A and B are shown apart, each in its own frame.
Chain A
């Protein structure tokens, strides 16, 4: 009761006594948790180095400028590899994500209690783990190189694409599906005529969106040895060749901006 009676006068409060207590208690716990976290971080930090940070930052900056422009001649192949990792990874992921999405959507899954949970498990487990971790794992299994990068990107993207796609499948207009069923169409024909045309725009949008993200992710996969421009970044960092590092960062930034521009254009053309 926000309105209380006190000495015959009505007093309006935003929250009643108990609510307000619970409210404050929640804030208190929140602040305590944050304080604890901060203390943990602080303990693990050598503050002496942190005090030195502005000087180090300035030092790095002066070493990194100007970028070593002529190094760009050696970046052609790594950039091509990066593009391939992102594009092929996205294509493989899409091929695998489509069946998973159909198995996961409530209205198309063959079995709600057996197959749907499995499909959802595939989605959540591939989605929860970053592509860098997938790359680490694949490098341990099949050795370093571009191929590991392609597969890592593909696995990471399956869950992402399948999740968005199955949500799109669940939102289709059932009337159109019903109408196709009523003509005596087979299960596959119902899918091709009733469902696929409805989710095609969503599918194209998801593909381009994920490709854009994958360009970003594949630029850093090389840090763990999975090919692409990240390899050059990692080796330049190892020898502290800061002018090369700054050039690579500029190239990555440009690639990210271009991919975002392309994906925005393509999405605009589809919708």
Chain B
């Protein structure tokens, strides 16, 4: 589905954010990308849809190689990749509905989008998605009136209305409280399962990642240090990714939370 080959990103300052990353994600797989701040998680995700231009290497989405595409062709491929952001990145002064519909921008012409005359099927789909995340009654509210969790749900709708093949998710829970974080993670993973989407989720809450995903990638200083199922994350592995620390508590906490979950 998505394949990265020797992806390198060197910033102008000389910092090497990614050092020849190789990665392959099969269809429908949800993958968590963990690692300390500055490990290159965010850069990796942004290099895939070229919000950040990779220095060298290749990115294949299906059979299409992305790094050499012209602007127009890149726009068409970006439609196949939905993105969800850390600070929601909703256009705050537009309404919820406009924000969701903005996911269709790659499909409609400029004047149509400018006059807000979206095809009826897009509008219906937007309402269906808003209903799925429980926000249909908020459609005409301005985005800055919403709470953090609600905003992130709108962000999810915006990504899904693109009808993507893959989701790029950048720290979806970083600005949310623990309970909302879990709800959002669960929602993303459920939706991926329903629609058979592959997803890369950047996350620094290791416990949360372990709860929801099928595969975990550990990134450290721009290189992949770990690739395996969530239960293979041992204290030793976490030490190689993050450095020395008492990891027992983190892993135990997962089990505790699972029990609470079961009790609920």
Contacts and interface: CB of A to CB of B under 8 A. Distances in A.
A95 interface: no
Interface string B129-169: 00000000000000000000000000100100010000010
A192 B87 contact: no
Given A179-B89, A193-B102, A186 B110 contact: yes
Chain A contact residues: helix, strand, loop or mixed: helix
Interface in A233-271: none
B263 interface: no
A179 B83 contact: yes
B230 interface: no
B89 A185 contact: no
Interface residues of B, number: 31
A21 interface: no
Contacts of B87: 175
B51 interface: yes
B20 to A, nearest CB: 25
Which one of A173, A183, A189 has the highest number of Cβ atoms from chain B below 10 Å of its Cβ? A183
Interface range on chain A: under 10, 10 to 19, 20 to 34, or 35 or more?
20 to 34
A180 interface: yes
A39 interface: no
A249 to B, nearest CB: 43
Given A179-B85, A192-B113, A192-B114, A185 B93 contact: no
A209 B75 CA distance: 39
Interface in A167-183: 173, 175-176, 178-183
Nearest to B106: A184
Nearest to A199: B93
B248 to A, nearest CB: 36
Nearest to B107: A184
A182 B77 CA distance: 10
A115 interface: no
Contacts of B79: 183-184
B169 to A, nearest CB: 12
B78 interface: yes
Given A181-B51, A184-B76, A197-B94, A176 B105 contact: no
B93 A193 contact: no
Given A179-B85, A180-B91, A198-B93, A189 B113 contact: yes
Interface of A: 173, 175-176, 178-186, 188-189, 192-194, 197-198, 200-201
Top-4 shortest CB links A-B: A184-B106, A184-B78, A185-B105, A179-B89
23 contacts: A175-B85, A176-B90, A181-B78, A182-B81, A183-B83, A183-B106, A183-B158, A183-B162, A184-B77, A184-B106, A184-B107, A185-B75, A185-B106, A186-B75, A186-B110, A188-B110, A189-B110, A192-B113, A192-B114, A193-B94, A193-B102, A194-B91, A197-B91
